[in-house]
Amino acid sequence: MVVRRCLYLISLFFWIGGMVVLGALAALATFDALEASLGVAGRLEAVAVFRGTLRRFRFFEFGPTTTLLGCLVTLSYQRRRPGALGIRIATGLTILGVTLYLEFSVTGQIAKVESVIASNVALRTDMR
């Protein structure tokens, strides 16, 4: 039971930590660095780089999410269940929902932003 609880907490740590690192550090650093060196065209490159980073992170993200839910389900079959197990399972399902939303919705939005930026960059270069 202790091993499953530890595995549950480690999975939760990796999921939340990964999202924080991507959102607070990787995205900002990518956009700042490429815009500083390439100007407006750097924003387009940053979108492409961050889209690739998100795509690779999704494969990593599904692992902790399924591990987290698996640990909670196995903990639910024990005689001494941990407190607030229903809330933990609901949180795990919410995490899975957010992961799926990010996979299918945000990725499409990034592609739309990339096409808008590409058309703006093309217009600016044609005007010169």
Structure confidence at residue 64 (pLDDT): 85
Give residue-wise pLDDT tens across range 70-94.
888 888 887 777 677 788 888 888 8
Which residue from 24, 22, 42 is spatially nearest to 32, judged by alpha carbons?
42
Cα separation of the two ends of the chain: 67
- In the numeric block, which tokens belong to residue 64? 């902790």
Q: At residue 27, what are phi and psi to the nearest 5 degrees? A: -65, -50
Q: What is the mean pLDDT of the chain?
A: 81
DSSP state for residue 77 in the 8-state scheme: T
Q: Nearest to residue 92, comparing CAs of 23, 4, 21, 27?
A: 4
Residue 41, pLDDT score? 78
Residue 122 in this model has a pLDDT that exceeds 70: no
What integer is the mean pLDDT of 92-108? Answer: 80
pLDDT tens-digit readout, 41-53: 787 788 888 888 8
pLDDT at residue number 59 = 77
